[in-house]
Structure 1
Amino acid sequence: MVSKEQEALHLEGVKSLIDIINNELSGELEKTTGELIEERKFALEELGSVITDDAQIEYSQVLPSLKFQEELQVSRQDVKNSLGKMKDRPYFGAVTIKDEDEADSEKLYIGLNSLKDPSTNDLIIYDWRTPIASTYYANHLGRVEYEVPSVGLQSVDVKERIQLVIEKGELLDVFDSELYIGDDALQHLLVDTAKDKMKSIVTTIQEDQNRIIRQNSAQDLLVLGPPGSGKTSVAMQRIAYLLYLHRHKMNADNMLFITPNEMFGDYIAEVLPELGEASINAMTFYRLHDKLSRRYEFETLFQHIERMRRAADTTAYRLKSSHDMLNAINRHVAKLADSGIKFRTIKIKDEPFTTAEELSELFYHKFKDSPIDSRLKKIQVEFWPRYKEVLNKAIKERTKALKRVTNYIGTDAELEKQAEQEKTRQFRVVKNYIKRLEFINIEKIYLDILKQLNPAVRAATLESLRNRQLNYEDIAPLLLLTVKVKGLQREPKIQHLIIDEVQDYSPVQLAAITAVFPNARKTMLGDRNQLVHPVHIDTMETTALELTKSYRSTIEITEFTKSLIGNTSTQSLGVHGDEVKPLSFTHFKEMLSHLDSESVAIIARDADHAQMVAAELPDVTLLTHDQYTFTKGTILMPNYMSKGFEFTYVFILDYDLYDKDKDKFLLYTVASRATRHLYLVETE
């Protein structure tokens, strides 16, 4: 039987140990800081400020030592900061285990970070990511297996598992539990989480989630689950786990989260720092259009969704997003080594720097025995001397022209510098053409592929290219062709990608992502039923790990969302709450005026509808397409922008205008944003 008094005494002992370590570290930091300052002073005094050849040699010997000591100092400070946070909540659970070979059982305390007793070197607290800590997340007592990387499966007998609720260094409660969501311990923690940005779920990770977090497979991972099953939270914990597991060869800069919208990066920004890890970068797929030519303006995702909702003909979108398009790109690129690459003539002041004919001759004849990427590099090498020669000639001519000016405009040296700056700026376009291989006409190659598939779509795309206004669905094929043909725009340093809402991505988009990040393993998250795009392209052919339990919303809300699509597989493990209620628009406005919550979402049909409603509701924040920051309070947004978020109160406006069959997946997605209260507001 768990004793709260004994656990309170143990906690006090751990806090005392943290104080001792902290005090020792503070003294060491103070001492080493002083020593480091003295060493810097000594180096400056002895070596002087003038860097002679002899001084350079001495500096080269002293600097590595100073650099090492500074890095050590930063590491000590990081540990001190970590200890400060640890004292508030050193651990959140404990598991008592017994090895087959051991006579006695051992109690392991599990926290966000490990802690060693410096006098014995024994672990007092185990980091939740250590292999043995996995036993804590099993949902049963008795024999439990856990995997140790590079060793294999290990087995222990779990005798006891407890959850401890500790806040600000005080033990509030202790639960003896097998840790599934129905237990008192987790019901105690299952408060409404929608009041702020996404938080860590490390204290409530379930067994099925734990298996996903600790997957060490070299293959890409697809995780499917209903709203509230913790897919995104699991992905964040998985990032922290991988950073821990591969800490000597991977850091936060080697990871990237591809988010469903611009706000989502801000929404998840606090999770990893809460776990003691640096935040990783986040971006939308749309942002990859920056890798394409600046000549074109690309439609955003939300503009694209609105257009697709109004479109009478979606042939072009379906084609450009299809497996047929992907296969056609791959076939066409395979043939380009022999023929088919379209080249541009490069001109300087209407004078050709190189012609399409010359480029074709170089590529298909002079360098024909090399692979495509090598041929392009050889063409670059061929052009650089020519570029410098033409540039230098232009600089000399401009210098002469400036010197012929009768008024005094500068010294000869100043005029030469002015001429160099002017001509270098003027020739920058040519330089970029060579550097970025802009002499390859990717757009014409794209049009050739479209001509094979659908001449009418090709004609419409040609018109868009002439107007320099391209659609969202053009980004992926153009990006894929750019990477495959030019070999540019790859980001090899990214080793792991998280792709959220993967059901929204086309085969061409996923192929483009793989091409841009060739060294990255992927963790992909999705739900076949959460669809806000009016035209769905199915992409999920990979074997998936399925989550079936939903923890986010009340049982009443979850049951309502299930009824919208006839879902019988999702198991609701939330708390009971209010029934889902219809509401008139008048009652909605009245209720809103008295509502006291920082987490309220008003869901409009589209951007125009949201603008119209915003004019009637003065105290709401209207979210627009270019919103980058997640906002607390009462927010108003089009339905497709709500995906991925959760709110305490959700009001679905004009609910009676939705087609309950055609729009069932959209309504399912929007309704599942609510954690505690869901209202279906009738048309005004």
Structure 2
Amino acid sequence: MVSKDKEALHLEGVISLIDVIHDELTGELSRTTGELIEERRHALAELGSEISDDTQIEYSQVLPSLKMQEEIQVNRQDVAGSLSRMKDRPYFGAVTITDDDAGREKLYIGLNSLKDPSTNDLIIYDWRTPVASTYYANHLGPVTYNVPDVGARTVDVNERIQLVIEDGRLLDVFDSELYIGDDALQHLLVDTAKDRMKAIVSTIQQDQNEIIRQTSAKDMLVLGPPGSGKTSIAMQRIAYLLYLHRHKMSADNMLFITPNEMFGDYIGEVLPELGEASINATTFFRLRYKLGRRNEYETLFKHIERMRHAGAEEQHDFTLKSSEAMLAALDRTIAQLAERELKFRTVRIKEEPFATTEELEYLFYDKFKSSPIDTRLKKIQVELTPRYHKALDKAIKERTKALKKVHTYIGTDDELERRAKQEMTKQFRTLKNYIAHLQFVNIERIYLDTLKRLDSGTRNRTMAALKNRALNYEDIAPLLYLNVMIKGLQKEPKIQHLIIDEVQDYSPVQLACISAVFPNARKTMLGDKHQLVHPFPVNTLDQLNAIELTKSYRSTVQITEFTKQLIDNDTTESLGVQGREVTSISFEAFKEQLKTLDSESAAIISRDAAHAEAINAALAMPDVTLLTHDQFIFTKGKLIMPNYMSKGFEFSYVFIIDYDGYDQEQDKFLLYTLASRATRSLTLVGKED
């Protein structure tokens, strides 16, 4: 039986050791910082602030030494920061194992490793170390774990304990054979809804652990119900991969494609909490910038609202542009362009032709025909560049001549030449960018021709939109796919790993577009085929092999059971805490309840943006915040939002307004998505007065 007193004494000893190491490191930092400042001062005094030919060699010898010392100093500062964080919670669990080689040993598991400097022994093991996998097994006895470049090792797990530590104090300790699920451990799940997503390292389950540590070179698809920890698993997986490949991969080589702009902010604290740098996050909509600013594109949220009221033609166009048939047609178009039908635009300077369509076609199909498509275009680019410089030089000379003919004094000859150069370079900038981005290739015409082969009506409606320079959300993926695949530009080869959340919302064309933009990236894709807010979802998940999670930890048993009934789901297993029943109340009763609600995690969910504004006006409460389409920062408090904006987030309290106004059959997946946002309380509210 585990002894709380013994564990408390051990914790005191560890914290004391952390204090000693931290104090020594702080003193070392203070001393070396002074030395580094003095060395910089000495270098400037000896060599001067300007680099001359005489001092260049001396600088080349001194600078690498200074740079190395600065890097060591930054590393010391990082370690000192890590030690400061470790004092509050040095570890969260321990596992006692018996190894044939090392015998019986107790390993404490935390966010970071810690060595005893006097013995060089590890006294805390980073949760990402191979042996820490034994802690996440859901049974005692023989457990096998993998060591990279070594292979499988088997040990006996004799004991596993969980420790609840806050502010350096041991609050509780549990001896657990089943890692989570028994009543004694449910308090770990009591308050999961925060203002930001948090790390789940201390509550990783065995099935989650296997996903996090997956090292296969193949893309991975993880499906699971709300509260199964999919997004948290992804963040832990990023931290694990950064640890595993720390010498060849950094946070800059990873990217999270989030379902909306707020979500990037929502997950922003997880990796720093794990001691890793945050990775960049983006949305699919942001990829439209790779198409330039020639056209405006409909946002995702406006797209959803439009499609909810779309007529037959709009529904048809969206479904076609998002389909497997569309992707196949795009690939056929690209394949045939090597032989025929690549569309070019005449390049002009003002109104004068700079390179005609006929000339560009000759260069592409005759002069450079032996090269691949993207190489041919680059050769045309090379061909046009000297011509651009010649035209620019001519324009500068003509402008200089014109300025010199001005009768009043406006500058010296040198000044006039500089002015002419600035004016003409600015004027020719559009042409320069046109050549650099291969804009003489008419991607829009190629897109229209592809649509024509599928449906002339869709093609005609899209052509009208192009004339107005206002395209729909579903046009982004096919246009960008053509742009990247034909021109070979706008790729991001440095990204080695992608996390794609809510993957069930992506069409085959969007997924192919993402693969084209990030050609070197393996993908971890996360989704739930039942969480749908789009009125016309395009399901691509059935064609992919998936790892399926079935346990839900987030919401109370009552909320999870309610969501399961909405879609006749009998596979999800609820491991949440017991809570209050889902209730239905009037809008007036809701207003009174909201006045006294003391929570920084409450979502008031409306049908759409207009409905959200109406609710906000009806409530007129100063502590309630209306979230709009242009919201980039996730905020805590009592929030009103359109239903599609709530996807991906979790809240302690959720109120679905005008619940009876939804069609229980047609909107069942939408309601399932909304209801599963709640972790502790779900209230179904009547229509506002």
Do they superpose with TM above 0.5? Answer: yes
Conserved 8 A contact 1:137-1:179: no
Residues 323-357 of structure 1: per-residue CA shift (max 9 Å, x gap)? 00001111110111111110000111211011010
Residues 426-461 of structure 1: per-residue CA shift (max 9 Å, x gap)? 111110110000000000000110010001100000
Distance in 2 of aligned mates of 1:270 and 1:160: 32
Distance in 2 of aligned mates of 1:650 and 1:167: 29
* Structure 2 residue identity aligned to 1:432: N
Conserved 8 A contact 1:296-1:468: yes
Secondary structure of 2:653 counterpart: strand
Does residue 590 of structure 1 match 2:589?
Answer: no
Q: Structure 1 stretches of 5 or more lacking a match? A: none
Distance in 2 of aligned mates of 1:293 and 1:38: 49
Conserved 8 A contact 2:91-2:108: yes
Does residue 556 of structure 1 match 2:555?
Answer: no
Distance in 1 of aligned mates of 2:164 and 2:530: 36
Cα 1:468–1:50, aligned 2, differ >3 Å: closer, same or farther?
A: closer
* Structure 2 residue identity aligned to 1:659: D
Conserved 8 A contact 2:298-2:471: yes
Residue in structure 1 matched with residue 376 of structure 2 by the alignment: 375
Residue in structure 2 matched with residue 108 of structure 1 by the alignment: 107
Does residue 672 of structure 1 match 2:661?
Answer: no
Residue in structure 1 matched with residue 340 of structure 2 by the alignment: 339
State the 1:542 CA deviation. Answer: 1.4
Residues 552-602 of structure 1: per-residue CA shift (max 9 Å, x gap)? 111001000000000000000101111101111111111111111111111
Say which is worse superposed, 45-54 or 575-584, in terms of deviation: 45-54
* Structure 1 residue identity aligned to 2:26: S
Residue in structure 2 matched with residue 230 of structure 1 by the alignment: 229
Residue in structure 2 matched with residue 283 of structure 1 by the alignment: 282
Q: Structure 2 stretches of 5 or more lacking a match? A: none
Residue in structure 2 matched with residue 126 of structure 1 by the alignment: 125
For residues 28-47 of structure 1, the aligned pairs below 5 Å read 28-47=28-47
Distance in 1 of aligned mates of 2:56 and 2:605: 65
For residues 48-59 of structure 1, the aligned pairs below 5 Å read 48-59=48-59
State the 1:185 CA deviation. Answer: 5.3
Residues 535-555 of structure 1: per-residue CA shift (max 9 Å, x gap)? 011111211011100011110
- 642, 653, 658: which one pairs with 1:649? 653
* Structure 2 residue identity aligned to 1:577: G
* Structure 2 residue identity aligned to 1:636: I
Say which is worse superposed, 412-421 or 296-305, in terms of deviation: 412-421
Secondary structure of 2:248 counterpart: coil
Secondary structure of 1:73 counterpart: helix
Residue in structure 1 matched with residue 487 of structure 2 by the alignment: 486
Residue in structure 2 matched with residue 424 of structure 1 by the alignment: 425
Q: How many residues align?
A: 683
Residue in structure 2 matched with residue 258 of structure 1 by the alignment: 257
TM-score, normalization by structure 1: 0.99
State the 1:46 CA deviation. Answer: 1.5
Distance in 2 of aligned mates of 1:41 and 1:681: 69
Residue in structure 2 matched with residue 581 of structure 1 by the alignment: 583
Residue in structure 2 matched with residue 85 of structure 1 by the alignment: 85
Identity of aligned residues (%): 73
Residue in structure 1 matched with residue 294 of structure 2 by the alignment: 295
For residues 523-672 of structure 1, the aligned pairs below 5 Å read 523-540=524-541, 541-619=543-621, 620-672=624-676
State the 1:50 CA deviation. Answer: 3.7
Cα 1:169–1:663, aligned 2, differ >3 Å: closer, same or farther?
A: same
Residue in structure 1 matched with residue 320 of structure 2 by the alignment: 319
Conserved 8 A contact 1:179-1:186: no
State the 1:19 CA deviation. Answer: 1.5
* Structure 2 residue identity aligned to 1:488: L
For residues 332-481 of structure 1, the aligned pairs below 5 Å read 332-481=333-482
Residues 64-98 of structure 1: per-residue CA shift (max 9 Å, x gap)? 01100010011011101111111111111000000
Distance in 1 of aligned mates of 2:184 and 2:199: 17
State the 1:48 CA deviation. Answer: 2.0
State the 1:179 CA deviation. Answer: 4.2
Residue in structure 2 matched with residue 145 of structure 1 by the alignment: 144
Secondary structure of 2:261 counterpart: coil
State the 1:184 CA deviation. Answer: 4.6
Distance in 2 of aligned mates of 1:511 and 1:50: 52
Distance in 2 of aligned mates of 1:645 and 1:48: 56
State the 1:186 CA deviation. Answer: 3.1
TM-score, normalization by structure 2: 0.98
Distance in 1 of aligned mates of 2:184 and 2:440: 64
* Structure 1 residue identity aligned to 2:168: G
Distance in 2 of aligned mates of 1:491 and 1:371: 20
Distance in 2 of aligned mates of 1:611 and 1:423: 50
Distance in 2 of aligned mates of 1:48 and 1:591: 71
Residue in structure 1 matched with residue 72 of structure 2 by the alignment: 72
State the 1:150 CA deviation. Answer: 1.9
Distance in 1 of aligned mates of 2:575 and 2:227: 10
Residue in structure 2 matched with residue 97 of structure 1 by the alignment: 97
* Structure 1 residue identity aligned to 2:626: L
Conserved 8 A contact 2:190-2:577: no
Distance in 2 of aligned mates of 1:168 and 1:552: 25
* Structure 1 residue identity aligned to 2:156: D
Distance in 2 of aligned mates of 1:8 and 1:144: 28
Conserved 8 A contact 1:433-1:439: yes
State the 1:51 CA deviation. Answer: 2.1
Distance in 2 of aligned mates of 1:50 and 1:336: 55
Distance in 2 of aligned mates of 1:172 and 1:411: 81
Residue in structure 2 matched with residue 245 of structure 1 by the alignment: 244
Conserved 8 A contact 1:161-1:177: yes
Distance in 2 of aligned mates of 1:52 and 1:284: 48
Distance in 2 of aligned mates of 1:638 and 1:516: 31
Give the ranges of 4+ consecutive aligned residues of structure 1 lying more than 3 Å apart after TM superposition.
Answer: none
